Amino acid sequence: MYLAETELPAGFWSYAHKDDVAEDGRILRLCERIKNEFSLLTGRDIEFFVDREAIAWGDKWRATIDDALTETTFFVPIVTPRFVASDECRRELVAFSENSKARGVPELLFPVLYVAVDDLSEESNDEVKVAIARTQYVSFTELRLIAEDSSEYRMKVNEMALRLISIANQIASKAEEPLVSSLNKENQDSFDEDSPGFLDAMGSIEGQIPEWNETIDKLGELITQIGEITHEYAPELSRAAERGSVAQIVVADKYSKAIQPVAEEFRSTGSKYMDQALAISENLIAILDELTNSTSESGLEAGTREFLFGILGVVDAGVGSASEIQEFQHSVRKNFGISRAIRKPLKAIDQGAQYYLDSLDLLTDWQRRIQEILEPK
Task: Select from 81, 119, 95, 85 the least CA-distant residue to 12.
Answer: 95
Per the domain annotation, does 276 fall within a domain?
yes
Distance CA 14, CA 336 (A): 28
Domain identity same for 203 and 271? yes
Per the domain annotation, does 186 fall within a domain?
no
Looking at residue 252, what is its pLDDT? Answer: 82
Distance CA 87, CA 341 (A): 26
Q: Do the strands 73-79 and 47-49 form a parallel or antiparallel pair, or are they unpaired?
A: unpaired
- What does the radius of gyration of the chain's CA atoms come to, in whole angstroms? 24
Domain identity same for 201 and 137? no
Domain range for 233 is: 196-374
Domain identity same for 200 and 167? no
Tell me: the pLDDT tens digits for 140-194?
Answer: 999 999 999 999 999 999 999 999 999 988 888 765 444 344 555 444 444 455 5
Distance CA 342, CA 335 (A): 9
Q: Report the CATH number at residue 71.
A: 3.40.50.10140
- What residues contact residue 297 under an 8 Å CB cut-off, 6+ apart? none
Boundary-marking domain end, from 142, 176, 210: 176
Boundary-marking domain end, from 128, 146, 176: 176
Domain identity same for 256 and 343? yes
Distance CA 93, CA 362 (A): 10
Domain identity same for 278 and 327? yes
How many domains does the chain divide into?
A: 2
Domain identity same for 63 and 159? yes
Per the domain annotation, does 243 fall within a domain?
yes
Per the domain annotation, does 190 fall within a domain?
no
Looking at residue 296, what is its pLDDT? Answer: 60
**Considering Cα of 208, then 211, then 214, then 218, what sign does the dihedral take?**
negative
Task: Select from 122, 292, 333, 74 the least CA-distant residue to 193.
Answer: 292
For the chain, percent helix, then strand, then coil, each to nearest 5? 70, 5, 25
Domain identity same for 167 and 208? no
Task: Select from 110, 208, 90, 102 the least CA-distant residue to 163.
Answer: 110
Per the domain annotation, does 189 fall within a domain?
no
- What residues contact residue 226 under an 8 Å CB cut-off, 6+ apart? 259, 262, 263, 266, 349
Whether residue 45 contacts residue 78, with contact meaning beta carbons closer than 8 Å, is answered with no
Rounded to 5 degrees, φ, ψ at 308 are -65, -40
Q: Do the strands 73-79 and 10-14 form a parallel or antiparallel pair, or are they unpaired?
A: parallel
**Considering Cα of 45, then 147, then 14, then 57, what sign does the dihedral take?**
negative
**Global confidence as pTM:** 0.81
Buried-state track 122-160, b at ≥16 Cβ within 10 A, e below 16: eebebbbbbbbbebebbebeebbeeeeeeeebeebbbeb
Task: Select from 273, 222, 223, 219 the least CA-distant residue to 94.
Answer: 273
Per the domain annotation, does 82 fall within a domain?
yes
Packing angle, helices 245-293 and 87-102, rounded to 10: 30
Strands (E) located in the chain: 10-14, 47-49, 73-79, 112-113, 138-139
For residue 209, give the H/E element and its range: helix 196-243
Which residues of the chain have a pLDDT value below 70?
4-7, 67-71, 174-196, 241, 295-298
Q: Report the CATH number at residue 280.
A: 1.20.1050
Domain identity same for 123 and 43? yes
Burial of residue 332 (number of CB atoms within 10 Å: 0-12, 13-18, 19+): buried
Our measurement of the distance from residue 249's CA atom to the centroid of its chain's CA atoms, rounded to an integer in Å, reads: 38
Per the domain annotation, does 72 fall within a domain?
yes
Domain identity same for 168 and 238? no
Hey, is 24 helix, strand or coil? coil
Domain identity same for 166 and 208? no
Domain identity same for 137 and 221? no
